[in-house]
Structure 1
Amino acid sequence: MMTVETTVPSPLRIGVELIAVDEGAPLDLNLRLESVSEGVLVTGTVSAPTSGECARCLNPLTGDVEIDLTELFAYPDSTTDETTDDDEVARVSSIRGAESVDLEQPIIDAIGLVLPFSPVCGDDCAGLCPDCGMPLADAEPGHQHEKIDPRWAKLAELRDQTAGGPREPSGDEQ
């Protein structure tokens, strides 16, 4: 058994469009590697800072992500190696006589699965006004825009051209 506690830079941006672990951000690895009959079992945690923007109001977000990692790396010529496809189980590789495991893809996959697809700055985030784009948190209460159906736009123009705007019907017109 071997324990690894180290910090390495993220090899690339890991995540989705709105939130991710930036390239070069520190990945804190706290891992345990054990030799088992079919390969090397890697278990532990990986944590990293995240940055992005709120899906509702587009304000910047920062936070942390922590994943639990459990991955089996099959020994060459083991039963697991012989009975699984290449993309089902990772493999132990030999480089100049030394055995190694590549944790990059399992870490990328695990982080990608736990990050929210639509991160928000808070459950009460109101987002942006769909008409003017103003953050609704900064807008006055009751913020709204008058919308005129394009089919009635000419009538609205005629109404606005009359002196005094819309008229109230008089007693004879009722």
Structure 2
Amino acid sequence: MSQLCLDLRELPQRSGATLQRHVTYTVGEEWTTPVAHITPGVELDMDISLQAIDQGVLAHVRTRVPAEAECVRCLDRVDLTRDVDLYQVFYLPDERDKLVADGDEDAAYEPVIEGDAIDLTPVLRDATVGQLPLQPLCSEDCLGLCSTCGEPLRDLEDDHHHDVVDPRWSALAGLLGEVKETT
């Protein structure tokens, strides 16, 4: 059973009733995008409010999530923090089925109450990963890497350059050396 599988038996079954929880959740598997991730073992302190509604339960989750990324320009590590403020309805199975029957195709993908519990893990993961940047930067003015030697441009002299000979002219470069020797 997930740490974020919350028992609803303490939540009164009348619309508007609320239940407050403070939960510490340890991320069990890496939550990731191609350039950023939340490491397994990270502990998230969460304030959770559950409110009974006619269709099921409205969950409100607030937490702060530390993440790591790689700067897309210089490849340095970037530490990120994202504030997550998530609202999610968990439908009673019959209520979700009614929505689908009434033509709401998206309702088929909404989470449901299973037995007397809801599992916040998938919706929290999706909300958190959705906030991670697609192109993280170590700083807005990051210069990136030298395209020839791969060194960070911030560490190189202003006049840094490479004499690059077009390979199509390399045979002529050898002749130029011979001409200089004969004169």
Give the alignment's TM-score, normalised by structure 1.
0.84
Q: For residue 67 of structure 1, what is the aligned residue in structure 2? A: 84
Q: Using the alignment, how far apart are the partners of 2:176 and 2:51 within structure 1?
A: 81
1:93 to 97, 105, 114: 114
Gaps of 5+ in 1: 168-174
State the Cα deviation string for residues 117-152 of structure 1 (Å, max 9, x = none): 121100111111111111111011121212222222
Instruction: Give, in angstroms, the shift of residue 87 of structure 1.
Output: 4.5
Helix, strand or coil for the counterpart of 2:158?
A: coil
Tell me, yes or no, if the aligned pair for 1:26 and 1:49 is still in contact at 8 Å: no
Tell me if 1:81 matches 2:97.
Answer: yes
Tell me, yes or no, if the aligned pair for 2:65 and 2:84 is still in contact at 8 Å: no
Q: For residue 50 of structure 2, what is the aligned residue in structure 1? A: 33
Q: How does 1:139-154 map to 2 (within 5 A)?
A: 139-154=156-171
Q: Using the alignment, how far apart are the partners of 1:61 and 1:41 within structure 2?
A: 34
| CA spacing shift, 1:87–1:136, aligned 2, 3 Å | farther
Deviates more, 1:156-165 or 1:59-68: 156-165
Give the alignment's TM-score, normalised by structure 2.
0.80
Instruction: Give, in angstroms, the shift of residue 18 of structure 1.
Output: 2.3
Tell me which amino acid in the other structure corresponds to 1:82. K
| CA spacing shift, 1:31–1:159, aligned 2, 3 Å | same
Q: For residue 125 of structure 1, what is the aligned residue in structure 2? A: 142
Tell me if 1:105 matches 2:126.
Answer: no
RMSD: 2.0
> Could you list the runs of 4 or more consecutive aligned residues of structure 1 that deviate by over 6 angstroms after TM superposition?
none
Higher Rg of the two aligned structures: 1
What is the aligned residue count? 161
Tell me which amino acid in the other structure corresponds to 1:63. L
Please state which structure has a larger fraction of its residues in helix: 2
Q: Using the alignment, how far apart are the partners of 1:67 and 1:145 within structure 2?
A: 46
Tell me which amino acid in the other structure corresponds to 1:106. V
Q: Using the alignment, how far apart are the partners of 1:46 and 1:164 within structure 2?
A: 73
1:137 to 136, 154, 158: 154
Seq. identity, % = 30
Tell me if 1:6 matches 2:5.
Answer: no
